[in-house]
Structure 1
């Protein structure tokens, strides 16, 4: 690949202006165009500001992904930012300022991940492997968690398998074993990380090949089911519905392979009260059908309570109008 040097672990001197004093004032960078900014990313003293301004222009510059990808050494410079903090993981010595800088580089990788052409290039070059160390939990550390959430966001965009290169991307993620890393995040990380990690696992499970891979051995299957069970147990009484939908969809996929799984009753029993959320309710009916071979009908007592609640609610609205 022409825009990456042989090794990502040492500063390149090719096209770099870091050896000479910068001619630009960081305060003036905001006025530059993306084409001008991307040429300054080689300057170490300006790189943080340049990355920040480039990301700010992602909406106004539609070809930013291609600009980053095709400019010589730019992806390499972004990788340097990512790999430079590896040594600060264990024990955690990462400051919030350093975490913010890494997140800025990762955010530009997310721009690349959102473009079908550059997404293909990232996968082909196996660049996501450089992000995997951020997924390993190293204790309850806010800067690392900040980086982890951003990393999961990048991977979430990379696990969009609906383009012509989707099968290759899926093969890469299965081969590089991203699922166990995401399961670990789902199990022990903060709520936001758990949600995005669940999304990635869901994206993989919704692909037939991904589902087959995850259910190929009892160990893989039960590892996923057990983590999902623990995720459900950690959900608050009023959980994030989007996260809940991700979990339910994972169960729906798994129920296509193994129907008689007692652990799935946990999610059914926990979520059947969410009748007001139509999408979640529909997925639960599919799950119930897959497991038990029939649709779910609440007991008569529960239906009476729902009807009574609906009637009192409508009366209250009627009084309000009067």
Structure 2
């Protein structure tokens, strides 16, 4: 995608380790200059006339600024300025009138929030301040235009930064604000990259016991997840994406850890995952192939062991008759 906002990758490392003087000559002086530059740019965020440039420069160079996240969090008025940027575009979300310039500017603000969400010293402070709630309107949009796609993708990057570190408190909070539903929407209508990030988030939620229980104790939640995963598998049979497929397989495999869900998967797992459709797609990914083999084994054992729900109330008990 042309002109994509800076660093939307889930693997980006923010505020990387410092380089000691004995490794690189002149590093202390360079670090001092970087710190001074970062401090000035952070101060500029509170000046409406200087904010746009400061957002751009900080988002582009944040890997160079050691411990930028604590600086953003602890400096007076900075987080409020970033939230002001976010709230200011709410009126153009519906009806959808978001311009590329507006999208890029708010995406730069979100990139700095992603920095805060990634840092071990600020992650939980960020969460306890309920700042992810400000992203809800962006993730709830449906326009497929590029400005909106960038906005959703960068917002997902913030959530992705939170779930990268396994923490039950993070998962519980995200479940409380219905992040699964918002991710499923993106998994249905987003670009390949945004689908991948959204599926990664759902995968991380499922890997937590609270998250798995949340999805598997109500039939409508399970079927919502299963339907979207199935639709994505069908699309990937025509346009393969090894990375996205790997996350989908891991979601299915985790669902199969729940006995009742595993029994239902025996009847609704896409045939293309069973018949070798994706052999060439997964040729270079041994881990994904192993996950798929384990998934098929779990499903076959689950059905063979008679783990079939009966018609009762609650849970998965009515699923096969839904």
Give the CA deviation at 1:119: 1.1
Give the CA deviation at 1:273: 5.1
- 1:175 aligned partner: 176
Q: Is the CA contact 2:184–2:228 (under 8 Å) kept in the aligned structure 1?
A: yes
**Mapping of 1:217-236 within 5 angstroms?**
217-235=218-236
Worse overlay, 152-161 or 210-219? 152-161
Q: What's the CA shift string for 1:236-259, capped at 9, x where partnerless? A: 545221111000000001111122
- 1:263 aligned partner: 268
**Mapping of 1:1-322 within 5 angstroms?**
33-162=37-166, 166-235=167-236, 237-257=238-258, 258-260=261-263, 261=265, 262-266=267-271, 267-269=273-275, 270-272=277-279, 274=281, 276=283, 277-293=285-301
Give the CA deviation at 1:156: 0.7
Q: Is the CA contact 1:272–1:284 (under 8 Å) kept in the aligned structure 2?
A: no
Q: Is the CA contact 1:137–1:185 (under 8 Å) kept in the aligned structure 2?
A: no
Q: What's the CA shift string for 1:108-152, capped at 9, x where partnerless? A: 011111102211111111100100111123322211111111111
TM-score, reference length from structure 2: 0.77
Q: Distance in 1 between matches of 2:115 and 2:80?
A: 15
Q: Root-mean-square deviation (CA), in Å?
A: 1.8
Q: How many residues align?
A: 262
Q: What's the CA shift string for 1:81-115, capped at 9, x where partnerless? A: 11111110111111101100000000101111110
TM-score, reference length from structure 1: 0.77
Unaligned runs of at least 5 residues, structure 2: 1-33, 303-322
Give the CA deviation at 1:56: 2.8
Q: Where does structure 1 differ by over 4 angstroms across 4 or more consecutive aligned residues?
A: 272-275
Rg larger in 1 or in 2?
1
Q: Is the CA contact 2:69–2:115 (under 8 Å) kept in the aligned structure 1?
A: yes
Q: Is the CA contact 1:90–1:138 (under 8 Å) kept in the aligned structure 2?
A: no
- Larger RCO: 1 or 2 (CA < 8 Å, sep 6+): 2
Q: Distance in 1 between matches of 2:92 and 2:74?
A: 31
Q: Distance in 1 between matches of 2:178 and 2:82?
A: 23
Q: What's the CA shift string for 1:184-209, capped at 9, x where partnerless? A: 11112222211111111011001111
